[in-house]
Chain A
Amino acid sequence: MAYPKAEKILKNFKRFFMCCIIAAWGLGPEVVHAQHTYINIKDPFIRKVPLAVPEFKSFGTGGQAPGYGATARSILVEGMIFTGYINVLDPAGFQENPAVTGITGGDLHFKKWTADGAELLVTGGIAEQDGAIRLELRLFDPFKERLVLGKVYTGQQSDLRTMVHRFCGEINLYLTGKRGVFGSRIVFVSRVGQNKEIFISDFDGHAPRQETNHKSITLSPCLSWDGKWLAYTSYVNGKPDIFIRNLKTRALTTIAFDGMNITPDWVPGKLELAATLSLDGDQEIYLLSGKGEIISRLTRSWGIDVSPRVSPDGTKIAFVSRRGGTPQIYVKTLATGEVMRVTFQGKYNTSPSWSPLGNQLAYVGVVKNEIDIYVTDFTGAGALRLTREQGDNEDPSWAPDGSLIVFSSTREGSSKIYVMTPRGTDARRLIDLPGEQTDPEWSAGEGID
């Protein structure tokens, strides 16, 4: 399992639809499996691929279908722009209008599209009847003059967003070998009145909803690998304890040893978590079962040990310790017990977050009161600074495909949630809510059965 999160999201998509028919036209399954990796998302000099998305065709019997077509098109356009490596062309200059002339390969004049500068072309057709929607989407390579993939989705109006994002995931899979961010979620902390509560939104900040209502300080949310369990810290019982919520059954487990119980982080693929407890009077990191029983103790050093983050393959734990006199990030290999210090520059490095491949760590460094996000690759080549002179930047967390990093920043005043590429480019605000938002964690989609 080199890449568990991608597998998980793939499973999510498989599970998703109530009544979804998928058909691949023309080209057989080899298209789906021969993932043509056009784009290396780790390439620092990435060139955005120009994509044409002309107006969708309406097969509608009712008058509402064109409206759905426009909605579906804009969801697709926004989704593809969100990836950071697609440039969606302005439809005003297109020589051909497939909404009129037809959306299948036989109807298209590919030379016109290459002349318009499109390296990829998506056509769409939509039919609506009694609230039920049938959406046809096709991806073409105009230079090779061929259909890359085609899908039909059916569902209710309310599923339109999910249908379109599923196709976005297919485009992503074709281009990068991964389904990308589509279907994933962001879990984060938002101020509600004087309190802090946990919220969950779609990957693009859409539809944020309040998940906890403790009317207390609630922090450090983390969703399990399968998206079913939410762990967090709350002061609702007067001191910081860890809570585990089953999002489906709403069942709540409390981990409340003497002292503080903070910073939970799920182990990928298991119902186990790492967390910081101070039951012996000193903070140490422990491995716990989903029921809150201690499985083992992972650190033995006097002073601060906090913020464990389990690596994507589950073999290592990154954490923050003050054992060297200042807060720095360390990595412990669980099999050997070996502990390695990762950060050496600066006097304050905290909040580690593993890249999905486990070969990089994003973290927060404080230098001369400037709080910024850095990335290190363990080679000792020095860290890359991703944010600079734009307020305080904290709490980095990687997208499941590694294409983006979500973080909180005070660049526009009070703390809000933003995304940027792992090179520090294309930073933009993600979530539009009143009050302060902090501590985002990029997480799996809905639970898998």
Chain B
Amino acid sequence: MGKKVIRNLVVVMMVAGLALTMSCAKKNIGGDTAALKVNTSEISPEEAARRAAQEKARLLEEQRLQEQALQEDAARQRNLEMSAREQFENQDVLFDYDSAVLSAEARYLLKIKANWLEVNAARNIVVQGHCDERGTTEYNLALGDQRASAVKAFLMDLGISGARITTISYGEEKPLDPGTGEAAWARNRRAHFVIL
């Protein structure tokens, strides 16, 4: 069933692609013959000078575009670095209710964070442990501490020096989402990262 659908899709795409290339080819041919006709007609010295100037302008424009492209590449590179950094800080590791156990997804996220820490060996971080509003203030302080500690221990297992990682528990004092309900609670049961 699934295979059939895929095969049909492929066929449709191939037909569409063929039609597109054919129509493009026709246009090109038409355009080229028109240009040839113009080129074979009379070329005055004025016209030659005008064309030389045009060519120069075209080269300058090309150079400008190239430089712009280079600059854009550099910016993109910077953005990539920035987004890695932002991702590091903004992607929280989430926990189950009343749990400081790292899920498979949490461990995957922490491996990415460990890579960043390896590349940026000069940077130290703070791991904040947070809880949802359910449960009691004092117990949640303790639970937030367990969450931050679990994250620190895992990063250390991945080879990051413990001296670079400070932990702090905020318990239920600083919810990311002030709402109630499981969606808000799930966002609030988290370890949050701050680069120093």
Q: Is the CB of B136 within 8 A of A281?
A: no
B25 to chain A, nearest CB (A): 67
Q: Is B159 an interface residue (CB 8 A)?
A: no
Min CB distance A263 to B, Å, is 5
Asked if A351 lies at the interface with its beta carbon under 8 angstroms from chain B, I say: yes
* B134 CB contact (under 8 Å) in A304, A306, A366: A366
> What is the bound-complex CA distance between A259 and B149, given in angstroms?
10
Pick from A262, A347, A364: contact of B141, CB under 8 Å: A262
Cα distance, A262 to B168, chains bound together (Å): 12
Indicate the size class of the contact surface on chain B.
Answer: 10 to 19
In the bound complex, how far is the Cα of B100 from the Cα of A283, in angstroms? 14
In the bound complex, do residue A395 and residue B136 qualify as a contact, i.e. CB atoms below 8 Å apart? yes
User: Which residues on A sit within 8 Å (CB–CB) of B168?
Assistant: 238-240, 260
Q: Are A260 and B139 in touch, CB under 8 angstroms? A: no
- Identify B138's interface contact among A220, A282, A366, A371, CB under 8 A: A220
Taking a contact as CB atoms under 8 Å apart, the answer to whether B173 and A283 are in contact is no
Query: How far apart are the CA atoms of A306 and B143 in the complex, in Å?
Result: 10
CB contacts (< 8 Å) of A131 on chain B: these are: none
Q: Contacting B173 at CB < 8 Å: which of A217, A239, A263, A303? A: A217
A278 vs B98: C-alpha distance when bound (angstroms) = 19
Query: Smallest distance from the beta carbon of B167 to chain A beta carbons, Å?
Result: 8
Residue A12, interface by CB 8 Å: no
Bound CA span A111–B18, Å: 114
With beta carbons under 8 angstroms apart, the residue of B134, B138, B143, B145 that contacts A278 is: B145
Size category of the A interface is: 35 or more
Interfacial residues, chain B to chain A (CB-CB below 8 A) = 98, 134-139, 141-143, 145-146, 149, 167-170, 173
**Is A369's CB under 8 angstroms from B136's CB?**
no
A394 to B172, CA, bound (A): 14
A350 touches B146 (CB 8 A): no
**A362–chain B nearest beta-carbon distance, Å:** 13
CA distance A327 to B146 in the complex (A): 13
* Complex Cα gap A70–B168 (Å): 54
- By a CB distance below 8 angstroms, the chain B residues around A304 are 139, 142-143, 146
Indicate whether A147 reaches chain B with its CB closer than 8 angstroms.
no
Q: Are A306's CB and B146's CB within 8 A?
A: no
Looking at the complex, which one of A238, A281, A348 makes contact with B98 (CB distance below 8 Å)? A348
Determine the distance from Cα of A303 to Cα of B145 in the docked complex, in whole angstroms.
10
Cα-based distance from A37 to B102 in the complex (angstroms): 58
Is A438 part of the binding interface, using a Cβ–Cβ cutoff of 8 Å?
A: yes
Q: Is A307 an interface residue (CB 8 A)?
A: yes
Closest-CB distance, B134 to chain A (whole angstroms): 6
- In the assembled complex, the Cα of A1 lies from the Cα of B138 at a distance in Å of 30
Are A303 and B146 touching (Cβ within 8 A)?
yes
Structural contact, B134 and A283, CB atoms closer than 8 A: no
**Top 4 closest A-B pairs, CB basis?**
A306-B142, A350-B139, A304-B142, A350-B136
Taking CB as reference atom, which chain A residue is nearest B149?
A281
Q: Taking A304-B143, A306-B142 as contacts, is the C-beta distance between A364 and B136 under 8 angstroms?
A: yes
Report chain A residues within 8 Å CB of B135.
348, 350, 366, 371
